[in-house]
Structure 1
Amino acid sequence: MASANDPFTTCLVGNPEDNKNWTVYLQTLYLLLSPAQESEMNPTSHFFETTEYAYGYDENTAPCNEGNSFRRFKSLLLPILYCLVFVFCLLGNSLVLWVLLTRKKLMTMTDVCLLNLAASDLLFVVPLPFQAHYAAEQWVFGNAMCKIMAGIYYTGFYSSIFFITLMSIDRYIAIVHAVYAMKIRTTSCGIIISLVLWLVAGLASVPNIVFNQQLEIEQSMQCVPTYPPGSKTWKVASQFAANILGLLIPLSILICCYAQILKNLQKCKNRNKIKAIKMIFIIVIVFFLFWTPFNVVLFLDTLQSLHIINDCQASNRIALALQLTETISFIHCCLNPVIYAFAGVMFKAHLKGLLQSCVRVFWSPARGPGATQSSSVPSQLSACSDSAGML
């Protein structure tokens, strides 16, 4: 055991009998350890994860490293999943846009809603190639792209929810208030409402554009939301907004709308009405099955920010669950086109007509362009007009 006169001991703490030297030693040790505690709080590579790097030491926040399973999932599986979702969503929703836009005009409110929903899904997955590289390596696209991708992500997120909700309200008005529906379920009304919803979705994403920035953390460039020092208000508000606008309000509206629709259908034996709402039911059910787990985990992450959950192991599990459920939620963007094909009878017929037209153009040169045009295009227009109010 080192004596009090040991030069090494004296160099470190001075005379142990001197309380002032012990105070200096503890203060120095505190200053040396504080930065290390900040740097160990590793962010994860997605836009919903949040952090604070400009704060002072918070005794309620314990340093917590990512687990090995989380690192492996983030660096190996996430890029593959992101790329697969991006490719399938791009193909499927581009096909939906192609079918809708080849009609000479958008004829109903439903057409407008489906068009905007497909556009929202495409917008929502635009950041995925960037996120795939980010999960495997680091953020190399600069601060401006960090903010732009966060804005696109949140705009697509909110707009998808808004248009699914609008489609349900549209079905409710068309079935329960059929007479009144003739006045307001017009293409122009649908376009105006769509513009308003896009504006609201854009405004809802503004805080994320402002706070997201590129930071160098542990010699690695990260794109993370960085909130004001010493305050959890913005983070908690952002996550509560995602829960409320992304699940609670839409779910409440859908329950009310479909409860009234079911009451109306009990009085009516018209099968066409059941077919008309079948696709909407499927879209809504699939959407909330894929998004509810993420919203639940996001709520748990909010509780962690409020120190209601304050355990390192629980924090790692929440971070892993947040990544996993967010990745699962992306899949709904790929399912919407499949739902259109199986549930939308007239949509499927029109798609079949367009594909047959393409086959005739590229694989029947003997008939000539004039014959192909005269035989296929009129049938497309006829199918289009027959399906004016149906999808």
Structure 2
Amino acid sequence: MVEDDYIDPGFFNTSKDSSQEHKHFVQFRNFFLPCVYVVVFICGLLGNSLVLIIYIFYQKLKSLTDVFLVNLPLADLVFVCTLPFWAYAGIHEWIFGNFVCKTLLGIYTLNFYTSMLILTCITVDRFIAVVQATKAHNQQAKRMTWGKVICLSVWAISLLVSLPQIIYGNVSHFNKSICDYHDDTIFTVVLATQMTLGFFLPLLAMIVCYSVIVKTLLHARGFQKHKSLKIIFLVVAVFLLTQTPFNMVKLIRSTNWEYHTMTSFDYAITVTEAIAYLRACLNPVLYAFVSLKFRRNFWKLVKDIGCLPYLGASSQWKSSEDTSKTYSASHNVEATSMIQL
């Protein structure tokens, strides 16, 4: 027998095991991702819609932070509205056509970049409001104008870097029809853009700005200091826990094409991507509900819609409590009170 004609009997078993593992992964993904999509859609829709309603009808846009906190839930809201389509396609197949495929891929990517860049803007805004509190207060009108320009620029830049998904997004037909983006010629550029704008830039801004903010607050006096520090650490921790795993797995996978054939990496990508989507649910809590003013307006909304009339006394109690806290806060240093947490 010629040596080249010899085939290891274990080859067939290995191939069979690999095929079985992939089959199990497909079953897991088709069940897991749609469930995550539905949960994120419901929670993100309720939370972000509530933030928008309160800011538009109750709180108004009185500061630069308010401008950013309207654009952030708007981006997250549009993002979560694409999830039912992906959930249906995960359970069945893509039936919505090529145009909708390109559109939803573009919307998904556009709002991903917008959300991350707005988070960066909020971080820098908080840095200026605390570290340069007097200057920020005196130039509030000017900062409002610049804030609106910045937000328009963020949406424009996000649309620009989303063009590859819009142009190269397509419906592919394998075992079933899927809507996907894949183009080897610009894959590296797209991945580098996603990693830079969608992870490293917000992370760097948080590390630098919040480090200086923490140092400033530690030298401040007043009861709000410890609460502010806790919220800062919570914001950074949530960002790291939700965004780091997915980005690291993507980065590692891009270094070697062999990783694309490993089922373990398929599981890692699927699970970490689902975790990353949780930001759309958590952003309203981290960036809006922690504000005393926002919570007061929330109770006004509850009272106005009449869903919980028996909470009238409770809401009055909360209002008086908030008033007391606000009065106490006015005696703190300006740097501490300027940060809108």
TM-score, normalisation: structure 1: 0.70
Structure 1 position 151 matched with structure 2 position 98: no
Counterpart residue number, 2:330: none
What amino acid maps onto 2:302 in structure 1?
Answer: L
**Superposed displacement of residue 223, structure 1:** 1.2
CA distance in structure 2 between the aligned counterparts of 1:277 and 1:207, rounded to whole angstroms: 40
* Contact 1:117–1:160 (CA under 8 A) maintained in structure 2: yes
Structure 1 position 79 matched with structure 2 position 31: no
Structure 1 position 213 matched with structure 2 position 170: yes
Structure 1 position 248 matched with structure 2 position 200: yes
CA distance in structure 2 between the aligned counterparts of 1:303 and 1:126, rounded to whole angstroms: 33
SS of the equivalent of 1:103 reads helix
Counterpart residue number, 1:265: 217
Counterpart residue number, 2:64: 109
Could you report, residue by residue, the CA deviation over 1:346-378 in whole angstroms, capped at 9, with x for unpaired residues? Answer: 211221122112228x969xxxxxxx9xxx9xx
CA distance in structure 2 between the aligned counterparts of 1:94 and 1:277, rounded to whole angstroms: 28
Of the candidates 43, 51, 72, which is equivalent to residue 88 of structure 1? 43
Query: 1:114-133 alignment to 2 at 5 Å?
Result: 114-133=69-88
Q: Which runs of 5+ in 1 are unaligned?
A: 1-62, 365-371
CA distance in structure 1 between the aligned counterparts of 2:23 and 2:264, rounded to whole angstroms: 12
* Contact 1:138–1:221 (CA under 8 A) maintained in structure 2: yes
Structure 1 position 191 matched with structure 2 position 191: no
Structure 1 position 225 matched with structure 2 position 181: yes
CA distance in structure 2 between the aligned counterparts of 1:250 and 1:358, rounded to whole angstroms: 37
SS of the equivalent of 2:61 reads coil
Of the candidates 95, 116, 130, which is equivalent to residue 140 of structure 1? 95
Of the candidates 23, 28, 42, which is equivalent to residue 68 of structure 1? 23
CA distance in structure 2 between the aligned counterparts of 1:128 and 1:172, rounded to whole angstroms: 34
Counterpart residue number, 2:274: 327
* Contact 1:120–1:160 (CA under 8 A) maintained in structure 2: yes
> Please, what is the CA RMSD of the aligned residues?
2.9
CA distance in structure 2 between the aligned counterparts of 1:116 and 1:167, rounded to whole angstroms: 11
Structure 1 residues 233, 311: CA separation in 2 closer, same or farther (over 3 Å shift)?
closer
Structure 1 residues 257, 341: CA separation in 2 closer, same or farther (over 3 Å shift)?
closer
CA distance in structure 2 between the aligned counterparts of 1:291 and 1:281, rounded to whole angstroms: 15
Counterpart residue number, 2:10: none
Counterpart residue number, 1:26: none
Structure 1 residues 172, 277: CA separation in 2 closer, same or farther (over 3 Å shift)?
farther
Of the candidates 255, 265, 281, which is equivalent to residue 318 of structure 1? 265
Q: Which runs of 5+ in 2 are unaligned?
A: 1-17, 328-336
* Contact 2:59–2:294 (CA under 8 A) maintained in structure 1: no
SS of the equivalent of 2:158 reads helix
Counterpart residue number, 1:336: 283
Structure 1 residues 184, 255: CA separation in 2 closer, same or farther (over 3 Å shift)?
farther
What amino acid maps onto 1:345 in structure 2?
Answer: L
CA distance in structure 1 between the aligned counterparts of 2:102 and 2:21, rounded to whole angstroms: 25
Structure 1 position 287 matched with structure 2 position 239: yes
Structure 1 position 298 matched with structure 2 position 245: no
Structure 1 residues 68, 195: CA separation in 2 closer, same or farther (over 3 Å shift)?
same
CA distance in structure 2 between the aligned counterparts of 1:318 and 1:105, rounded to whole angstroms: 46
Higher-RCO chain (CA-CA 8 Å, sequence separation at least 6) = 2
Structure 1 residues 198, 271: CA separation in 2 closer, same or farther (over 3 Å shift)?
farther
SS of the equivalent of 1:224 reads strand
Could you report, residue by residue, the CA deviation over 1:271-305 in whole angstroms, capped at 9, with x for unpaired residues? Answer: 4466557545533431231011110111122123x
Identity percentage over the alignment?
34
Larger Rg: 1
Structure 1 residues 281, 100: CA separation in 2 closer, same or farther (over 3 Å shift)?
farther
* Contact 2:44–2:80 (CA under 8 A) maintained in structure 1: yes
Query: 1:1-16 alignment to 2 at 5 Å?
Result: none
SS of the equivalent of 2:58 reads coil
**Superposed displacement of residue 197, structure 1:** 0.8
SS of the equivalent of 2:179 reads strand
**Superposed displacement of residue 148, structure 1:** 0.6
* Contact 1:164–1:284 (CA under 8 A) maintained in structure 2: no
**Superposed displacement of residue 267, structure 1:** 2.3
What amino acid maps onto 2:249 in structure 1?
Answer: V
CA distance in structure 1 between the aligned counterparts of 2:172 and 2:294, rounded to whole angstroms: 47
Structure 1 residues 176, 310: CA separation in 2 closer, same or farther (over 3 Å shift)?
closer
TM-score, normalisation: structure 2: 0.79
